[in-house]
Each structure stands twice: as structure tokens, then as C-alpha cells.
Structure 1
Amino acid sequence: MSARGRPEAWPARKPRVLLVDDQPMQLQVLYRTLAGDYQLFMATHGEQAVQVALEQLPDLILLDVVMEGMDGFAVLQRLRAQPQTASIPVIFVTAHSDHDIESRSLDAGAVDFIIKPINPAVVRARVRTHLTLKFQSDLLRSLAFIDGLTGVANRRQFDERLALEWARAQRHSAALSLLLVDVDFFKAYNDRYGHQAGDDALRRVAACLSEQMRRATDLVARYGGEEFACLLPDTDGHAALALAQRIVEAVPLMAIAHLGNPVAPVLSVSVGAATRCGAAQPGWSSAALLGLADAQLYQAKHLGRARACAAVLESPGVSSN
């Protein structure tokens, strides 16, 4: 338990809770019960609940079962079908107390079931319990997504985040950029200085990349071996190339000696950048974006390394530099 009375796994921010009920009076009761401890969002029908959940990504949802139009079961099914909301815990809230409804609720994927009229103390206790379980699960999940050598995200986390950010960019016609960063002549570095020095060099490169990121939404991951990936939501091609060039300039400033590097006497990197922007086009995919970044990395190496090359995704097999 933390000094503030919060479980250790909880984030420093207020947990985000979405309240869904088509009866305004019931919403107000829930709001008064939880106000102060949580950041609360409200929805009065199923379609709105799905939209708010996708936009706000709450930590927990209290969802009325019986609503006009889309009922709670249909809402939960929609949430489970979206990768962004599939793992958000949902507590059903309903006036029906028969075992069939309770059993159906749990079978549908709800984590708990609260009967109306609500008991405020019970609601607060169950919300706290399920948020604690959620944050503990998040903590364990995050540990499984960290590269053990460098401390940045691992390939598994990168792949999942790329899928999520690609889906969001497609939905909102938003920009999304990706950098692939490769340490130049790293095999020669290991051969000359040894693998322990190589591991330390990779840790320092990872730290340097992390320092170049400007926003919490940017992700640095170890993509494999001496290659790193940077995922940049809401970043256009000009900003992506500018960041790639800053990385190319920043790594040599660490002055890590590399006498086996024909480009410079210090460690250097090559960067390939790729960007998707605007409305989705036929044939676009996250794999196409990744392939374009890889092609630009190859181009940077072909032109002499220690440089950045960039392109914008246009259509299958076509890009603009």
C-alpha cells in the first residue's frame, strides 16, 4: 500500500472510469458514489459508450445491462471485438437479480455484477478491487514487454502497439510514422571490443533514442539484435525525418569509440523513416509501413550509412521520398 492509501500497482494519475446507463438519475447516483477518487466519463446509450471507450480508453466500465437500442451485452461484444478496448474490465449494473442474467453476464466476459438499487459502499469496494486487479495485470504485462538488456520496449510490445496505432490512424485518417534504427557495423564493434562492451553500447543507444522522444505516446523498442524501432503517432513525414536526423547526430555525440567503423571513429547509426497520412488507401497495412521503413534503412546504408532516409506511404509498392 502506498503512502496515499493506494495499492502499489496503481498509477499516480486518477483511474479512469466510464459510467453507462440510459437513465440520467442512475448515472447521477453512480457519479456521486465515485466522484473525487476517479476521473469519470458518462454515456447514456450503447453507441455512445463504445465511442467514449475508444476515445478515452477507461481503466474500468460500469455498464447497464438493459438499455434501449444497443443493450449491455451488445456493447460488451463490440468492446471485446476492438483491440483497443478488448481488455478493459466491465462490471454489469442491472435491476435484474435472477441467476440466468448473472450467469449470462459473466459468460459474456463481465468481471462482476452489481444489482440496482446500488449500495454505494459495495460499488466503491468492487470498483477498487477490480481496478487493483487490472493495474496488477498491467504491471505484470508491462514487465513481459520490456527488453531485458536495454530496458526499452521489446519486439512483442512494439508489434502490439503498431497494430493499435495503425488501427487508430486508419480510423481518424491521422499521421503515423515509424523509424528503424540500425547501429552501423555492430558486428565489427563486437569483434573488436567484446560482447560485454557491445551490450553496454546497445544500452547507451537505447537511452539516447529515448531521450530524443518528445511525447509519452512515442515508443522506442528493441526490434532485434542491434536494430531499434521508434513508433511515432500523429507525426507527419517532415517531423519524422527531422527526428531521424536528430538521432543520427545524437548517437555520435556519445563518443563511443568504434575504430572498426569506416564512416567515423565513433559509434553511428543509420535510420529509415516511413509515414502514413491522410485517408486510408487500398492495400495499406502496418506491414507495408514497416516494409517501407526497412527499405529506407537499406537506402541509408547503401548511400554510406550514418544518415537518414525517409518516404511516405502512398499505395502498394509506391512511395514518395
Structure 2
Amino acid sequence: MDTMKKDQTILVVDDSPVNIQMLGQLLKNEWTVKVATNGKTALSIANSDDPPDLILLDVMMPEIDGYKICEILKASEATKDIPVIFVTAMSQQEDEAKGLELGAIDYITKPYHASIVKARVRNHLELKQYRDLLKDASLIDGLTGIPNRRRFDEVLSTEWKRSFRDGKPISVLMADIDYFKRYNDHYGHLEGDECLRKVADCLRKTLKRPGDLVARYGGEEFVGIMPMTGEDGAFTIAESFRKAIEAMEIEHIDSPISEVVTISVGVSTMIPSDKVEAEKLVEKADNALYEAKKAGRNQVKKMKNDQEPSKGQEQ
């Protein structure tokens, strides 16, 4: 199978510059190689915004040995899926068993044969590609083809942490198709599904920035994440969503407010702190959506940080 990509990255962790150079020379023609000479650097790279696809990890390391590094990696949600191969001169069965019990996927003993190292690395990278594809498929909404709520939750967690670290605002919008139950009742569920697909595709195409994300939150509700975006910018994006849906002119003759499909949108913006969770941002966007519905629908409302959630929500 010819699916290997040069942009796959291998992190080589070894306190010996000679060993790093040898493995680097062996692998660099097929993969991108990063190096670390200590555990602290290795963990920093693994937790960065561009983590490796595979880690070749020496066991005998100063300060933090390879076993401990592996244990830390596997205990973290952010790094637990990165495959780890131990490369070591230790060859006792109990040493190998310990590494595998900690979550390593393979064990290569020194001195090693270059062809064996490359073959094992290639096999494990191919397996990781398969796992990544399966994971990606599980993060896509089956009906609309855009990210699902699970993917939204993952991205929100990542971007919330990034915004907290950088002291920058992050915005979330919640959008709901107005009177969608009436649409389903009048046109039927097949047409309702087609409407959901058209709305999702329109929202996806309306986003212009690569860092932004729109996902199906459930039913006729959609959600967007806009990192590094203040209140005014988020409101502008939400309004572009509303106008784009209305401009499609999908007939909705049973809507009390319009002859075409429209959406109501709620927007919330926060600068993360250690005193509030990311879920609060979503809660406030949902509350703003409620206010948009209460005010007549087919409009955008933004929620101020000092506003508390309303009770209940119209359907």
C-alpha cells in the first residue's frame, strides 16, 4: 500500500547525539524527523500543536527515563494515541514486558538492523493512518457531512486551552433552523434531511478562516467555534451565516416569519480564565440563541459576559 506520506513525523528521543544521528540518517529520506535529548523536551514536543505520529524512545535517559516518559504520554488524553517504540540495549524479557505494559507498541533492541527498524516504523505508521481515518470518520455527522458534536467538543477543549494560554478571546455561536418541526411536518422527513444538508453545506462554505469550525450540534441545531475572535467579529460571522441561509431561498411556506428557511443565532465571547470552564461559553451562546428566538427569530443576538442563562428555551 502506497499511503506513506513524507509529512508524517517521527520523534527520536535519545540522550546520545550519536544514536540520534544514526536513526535520523536512517529515517529522514522517508519521514520528517524531530529529535529530543531529554524527557522534558520530548514531552513538550509531544504536547505541541504539531505532535509526532510516532516516537522512538530510548529507555536509559537522565532525569526522566523512557518508561516514565511513556507512562506520562499514555496518561494524557492529548498524547495517549501516539505510538511509542522503545529502542534500547536492554534485552531482558521483563524489561520488554514492562515497556509493553506501559503502552509501548514495540521494542527494538540495540544493535539493530536498519531494515528491521524501517520496516517496523513503516508498519506502525500505516496502522496509525488507519486509526486516524477511523477516528476522523467517527467525528463526522453522517447526515450532513460536517463535524459532529464530538468533534466540536474536542476542538472547543483545544482552542479554549490555547486562548487561555495566549490571553485571547474565543467565540461560540449556536444556530437553529427556525420552525424546523413545521418544515418536517409540511414537507416530510426526507425533505427535512435535505434541508439540513443544504444548511450545513452553506454554513461550512460561509466560513472563510481555516481555524474556524462549524458542526452539527444535534437535530436542527448547529454550532461554530471562532478562535482568537472578539465579540464584534463573532457577531459579523454569525450575521453572515443568517444572511447566507436566507439567501438560499429554501421554501418554507409553513413558517410564521418568512416564506423561506431562516436561522436564529446566538453568540458568546469570552477570554478564558482558570475560574470558568469552556462549557460556560456554550451555555451563554445557547442563552443568546434563546433570546434571538424570543425576539422574533431570523436574527442574531450576542450574550454579554455578565448575563445569566435564561430558563428554558422555545422550540
CA contact (8 A) 2:74 2:102 kept: no
* Secondary structure of residue in 2 paired with 1:85: coil
Query: Partner amino acid for 1:210?
Result: R
Alignment partner of 1:238 is 2:241: no
* Secondary structure of residue in 1 paired with 2:284: helix
Gaps of 5+ in 2: 310-315
Show the 5 A alignment for 1:50-69. 50-55=43-48, 56-69=50-63
Distance 1:261 1:233, change over 3 A: same
Query: Partner amino acid for 1:32?
Result: Q
Q: CA RMSD in A?
A: 2.1
Which of 289, 294, 303 is the equivalent residue of 2:286?
Answer: 294
CA contact (8 A) 1:276 1:312 kept: no
Deviations 1:68-98 (A, max 9, x none): 1111122122222322212111111111111
The offset of 1:100, in angstroms, is: 1.4
Which of 243, 248, 254 is the equivalent residue of 1:249?
Answer: 243
The offset of 1:301, in angstroms, is: 1.3
CA contact (8 A) 2:287 2:303 kept: no
CA contact (8 A) 2:242 2:265 kept: yes
Distance 1:273 1:40, change over 3 A: farther
CA contact (8 A) 1:289 1:313 kept: no
Alignment partner of 1:306 is 2:298: yes
Distance (Å, rounded) in 2 between the aligned partners of 1:75 and 1:167: 23
Query: Partner amino acid for 2:9?
Result: R
CA contact (8 A) 2:285 2:302 kept: yes
Distance (Å, rounded) in 2 between the aligned partners of 1:243 and 1:104: 52
CA contact (8 A) 1:237 1:312 kept: no
The offset of 1:50, in angstroms, is: 0.8
Distance (Å, rounded) in 1 between the aligned partners of 2:41 and 2:304: 34
Query: Partner amino acid for 1:228?
Result: F
Which of 40, 48, 59 is the equivalent residue of 1:47?
Answer: 40
Deviations 1:128-178 (A, max 9, x none): 111111111111222222211111122233233333333343344443322
Query: Partner amino acid for 1:309?
Result: K
Deviations 1:13-52 (A, max 9, x none): 6212211111111111111111132222221111111111
Distance 1:84 1:171, change over 3 A: farther
Alignment partner of 1:228 is 2:217: no
The offset of 1:313, in angstroms, is: 4.8
Distance (Å, rounded) in 2 between the aligned partners of 1:174 and 1:65: 39
Distance 1:215 1:24, change over 3 A: farther
1:114 is aligned to: 108
Distance 1:49 1:212, change over 3 A: same
Distance (Å, rounded) in 2 between the aligned partners of 1:169 and 1:82: 20
CA contact (8 A) 1:84 1:164 kept: no
CA contact (8 A) 1:237 1:311 kept: no
Alignment partner of 1:265 is 2:263: no
Identity of matched residues, %: 42
Distance 1:238 1:36, change over 3 A: farther
The offset of 1:122, in angstroms, is: 1.5
